[in-house]
């Protein structure tokens, strides 16, 4: 089945120690998104890629970076995690603007990040 995969499902890191979260998709979608979601809140968009074009949200801290080496994979790098970065990180995909038809966003299962 076509899907969005996130690894790992649970990640524990230490304060200030860089961490990378990964996302892959078999949907062949053009757009990949990274969201941060804290408890009982809506997902907050950090950034997204339309193909190789990177789109950063204005309020995304510089501590968060992303890479998309190819259509299938996208990575979220947190350079120096702080206690406030503990959250669920959701990856999602969609076909993207101009592709016609319904542009539904599909999510992976998420990575729950703990910062000690």
Report the interface residues with another protein, using CB under 8 A: 31, 33, 37, 40-43, 45, 48, 50, 55, 88, 90, 92, 94, 96-97, 102-110, 112
Chain centroid to Cα 11, Å, comes to: 14
Nearest distance from C-beta of residue 16 to another protein, angstroms: 25
Nearest distance from C-beta of residue 46 to another protein, angstroms: 11
Nearest distance from C-beta of residue 30 to another protein, angstroms: 8
Cα–Cα dist 5/9, whole Å: 9
- SS3 annotation, 40-64: CCCCEEEEEEECCEEEECCCCCCCE
């Amino acid at each position: 089945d076509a899907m969005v995969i996130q690894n790992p499902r649970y990640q524990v890191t230490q304060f200030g120690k860089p961490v990378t979260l990964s996302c892959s998709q078999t949907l062949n979608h053009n757009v990949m998104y990274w969201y941060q979601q804290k408890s009982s809140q809506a997902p907050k968009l950090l950034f997204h890629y339309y193909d190789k074009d990177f789109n950063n949200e204005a309020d995304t801290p510089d501590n968060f970076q992303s890479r998309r080496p190819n259509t299938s994979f996208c990575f979220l790098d947190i350079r120096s995690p702080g206690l406030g970065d503990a959250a669920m990180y959701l990856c999602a995909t969609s076909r993207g603007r101009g592709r016609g038809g319904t542009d539904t966003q599909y999510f992976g299962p998420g990575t729950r990040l703990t910062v000690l």
